[in-house]
Amino acid sequence: MANIACSKCGLTNQDHYKRCFGCGEPLASHRKPLVESATAQGRYCYVTTYRDGGSPIQAQLLFHDPEDAKECARILSDAKKPSKP
């Protein structure tokens, strides 16, 4: 788990916190999306993500309805990691 330093008070917070534990300053803007790709194929949604920004983690999610797999891929794609310039 990564840590984030608050830009207002400097307190180190865990990266899943939405606000600084010390002063309440919002931290959400400091978090980076971790999804590299998400695609749907039939009832499956294939996801590649990064737990620590290092090695890729791949998951294959099975849904009862192909439309659910498409919706999962759409939602996760909205959380995509910004591409490098």
Query: What residues does each domain of the chain span?
Result: 1-31, 33-85
Model pLDDT for residues 26-44, shown as the tens digit of each residue: 886 544 556 788 999 999 9
Cβ atoms of 77 and 35 within 8 Å: the answer is: yes
Q: How much is the mean pLDDT over the chain?
A: 81
Instruction: Give pTM, 2 decimals.
Output: 0.53
